[in-house]
Structures are given as C-alpha cells and as structure tokens.
Amino acid sequence: MELRYFELPPIGTNAYLLIAPERGEAALFDAPLEVTTSIAPILEKRGCRLTGLYLTHGHWDHTLEAAEVRRGEVPVYCHVADRGLVEDPSQMADFLLPGLGVEPAQVDVELQGGEVLEILGEAVEVRFVPGHSPGSVLFYLRDQGAAISGDTIFRGGVGRTDLPGGGFEILEGSIRQRIYTLPQDTILYPGHGPSTTVEQERRSNPFVHD
C-alpha cells in the first residue's frame, strides 16, 4: 500500500491517493482542481483503477473535480451533513474565488461517522469531526497508522470556523474527542500544508492543547 499526496490549485488543497497495486485498485481522498490529470498517469503506470472518492468535507476547494472523478463511475462518499454542499455548491457562492464555477457532484454513499469502511481491503474508520464544516470527517487508516484528516487540524493550526455551520467550540470538541484520542504516533495528513502527528499537535498546537 502506498500513499501519495498532491498539493493542488487554486488554493493549495491536498488530495491523497492510496494505491494498492497488488489489487489493481486505488482510492482518492478529496478532489481539488487538476486532481484527475495529476493522478491519471500514476493510475495508468501502476495498472490501478479508482474504487472510490472519499470527501473529508464538502467545501468547494475539496470538491472541484468530484463530478469529473464520478464520471469515471467512481462512487463519491461524503458525510450526510455536507452532502448539500457537494450537490449544490451555490450554497457557498459568497466564499468562492471570483470567476470560479464549481460543478455539482452527486453523493453516492452517505457517511454518518463511526462506521468502518473497507477501502482497498483495509479497515478504515470514519470519525465525525465537525467544526470547520458541519459534515467534516477523518478517515483513520489503522493499518497505515495514518489519518486523512481534512481541514479540522493542521500542523500548528486548526481549520477556520467562521464558515456556515462551523464553530470553534464544536471544532475543539472534535479535536479533543476524535483526533487526540487516536494512537499518539498516528500521522495526520491534513487538507492543507504538511503532515504532522497526533502527539505533536497534542503537545504544541497553539489553538487546542492538552
């Protein structure tokens, strides 16, 4: 199993590609601009097809190419509380970059949080971490000791909480109850910026510390 990351336009959003060449399968986490053209050569070279697009949340910079990915008959997974943002991005029109259109994408599988998905043959726990958006989740890849954590926490930072449905107290609760409770050496792969670990943030995150 390999994890590749891509930092993509228009505002430096990370997408992650989990690849299982032995299965001929791959899974994509988030869909910023240019993600399809970024991953296509890798999928082709490794002989892998995408089995799912897993959205950490419904903000436009993470969903810009969700519809494009879905056209390849790839099911889209998203938390129920962010489903509306993905299917009707005009809800966030006030927060879009000028001139940028976001194509609506249909969500095929609604997540609730708390479920364990099987992704590329591995158990992946979905943890509900609202606060940055109402339906933010993280995907905890137990066997990899890693979590694709979206915009809830960053290295030395946290996600903004001033967007619709967000709130700092909710975010803080998510971080304390559902992120800081992961094994301490879990690597966090956030939606923006470099990776970090649970332990590092618990000790030194200036916004939510122990």
CB closer to Zn ion out of 20 and 139 = 139
Residue located via tokens 């927060």: 95
C-alpha closest to that of 69 among 36, 33, 108: 36
CA–CA distance, 119 with 29 (Å, rounded to integer):
11
Structure tokens at 17: 């590609």
Binding flags for Zn ion, 81-110, as an x/- string (CB under 5 A): ------------------------------
CA–CA distance, 122 with 116 (Å, rounded to integer):
10
In the complex, minimum distance from the CB of residue 152 to Zn ion, in angstroms, rounded to a whole number: 9
Helix (H) or strand (E) holding 81: none
CB closer to Zn ion out of 52 and 58 = 58
Find the binding residues for Zn ion in span 144-163 (CB under 5 A).
Answer: 151
Is 201 a binding residue for Zn ion by CB under 5 A? The answer is no
Q: Which of 31, 35, 43, 59 binds Zn ion (CB under 5 A)?
A: 59
Structure tokens at 158: 């946290």
Residues that bind Zn ion in the complex, under the rule CB under 5 A:
59, 151
